Amino acid sequence: MVTVRAPATSANLGSGFDVFGVALDRPADVVRVEPAERTTIEVTGTGSEYIPTDPAGNTAGVVARELDAPARIRIDKGIRPASGLGSSAASAAAAALGLNRVYDLGYDRRSLVAVAAEGERAVSGHAHEDNVAPALLGGFTAATGDAVRHTPADVPLVVCLPDQAVSTRDAREVVPRSVDIDDYVETAGSAATLVLGMVRDDPELVGRGFRESAVTPARAALIDGYDRVREAALAAGATGVTVSGAGPGVLAACRDGNRRRVAAAMVEGFREAGVDARAYQTRTGNGAELFE
């Protein structure tokens, strides 16, 4: 048996829709994998009652099928489902890494990204790599379908998670199918700024790189209190704020000395909007860790 700790992730980062992703140092899932004659799934922890245990509908179970590696998979959820923090991706990434080890399949982590993405298809209908790539590789990733590019990063972040849910499928339905040329230019500039910020570990540039005027406002409208929370975070010293993944999690970049203040402001912003929330003072982190 092996144990894998798989991190929460944040995808899109405002300007990198379906491309950018970052691993967070907390929260995380813990997944235990051992060979078996057939695949079974057990789930405990945060939101476990909402996660399917049928292997055909569970991201980890789909990964086991893709690898032809039946196993007993026990998932302890530290990442709430439907949070915008890559909950399903963490399970898929952990299963891929664990099964690769217990069956000695010989894949490297980059090769496992595509396998784990097939697990994501079970919950979103698409084999997206923007969450599973950072969950496996850590740091900051850009997944473009034909390639995954990766760099280590160390940027202070805060994620505030309200007590509401936004499904990935619902969040995709509100995405505009075309954008104005001015919005396109703004997004391209922001994306370049964000990449530079991640390479330099510069929270000021990363925060500026979150700016985007097409997808983010459409998804933010699904999150009760988003505008209030964004304004509160910026007033408390955040360098930028955006929707984490499909939401409802809200991601803020900040300097190390501001994380506590920004976290408190975001929780209070949701409270003023009548929504309970909790905040994680986090930062870009490592990919999934394997323990034997």
Residue 105 burial class via C-beta count within 10 angstroms: exposed 0-12, middle 13-18, buried 19 and up: middle
Please give the helix or strand (H or E) that residue 11 lies within, else none.
strand 2-11
Q: Tokens 């396998």, residue?
A: 115
**Before 70, cis peptide (omega within 30)?**
no
pLDDT of residue 125: 73
Please tell me if the domain spanning 2-150+285-291 has the same topology as the one spanning 156-283.
no
Verify whether residue 120 is a known catalytic residue: yes
**pTM, full prediction:** 0.93
Q: What is the mean pLDDT of residues 22-26?
A: 96
Q: Which of 39, 59, 141, 168 is catalytic?
A: 168
Interval 108-161: pLDDT, tens: 999 999 999 998 887 777 778 999 999 999 999 999 877 899 999 999 999 999
- Pick from 39-43, 165-169, 182-186, 257-261: least confident: 165-169
Verify whether residue 42 is a known catalytic residue: no
Residue 281 reports pLDDT greater than 90 = yes
Cα distance between residue 91 and residue 93, in whole Å = 6
Phi and psi based region of residue 233 (left: phi greater than 0; alpha: psi -120 to 50; beta: remaining): alpha
Q: Which of 66, 118, 120, 212 is catalytic?
A: 120
Instruction: Name the CA dihedral angle for 129, 132, 136, 142, rounded to a multiple of 10 degrees.
Output: 40
What is the residue extent of each domain of the chain?
A: 2-150+285-291, 156-283
CATH architecture entry for 156-283 = 2-Layer Sandwich (3.30)
Cα distance between residue 263 and residue 30, in whole Å = 25
Interval 195-215: pLDDT, tens: 999 999 999 999 999 999 999
CATH architecture entry for 2-150+285-291 = 2-Layer Sandwich (3.30)
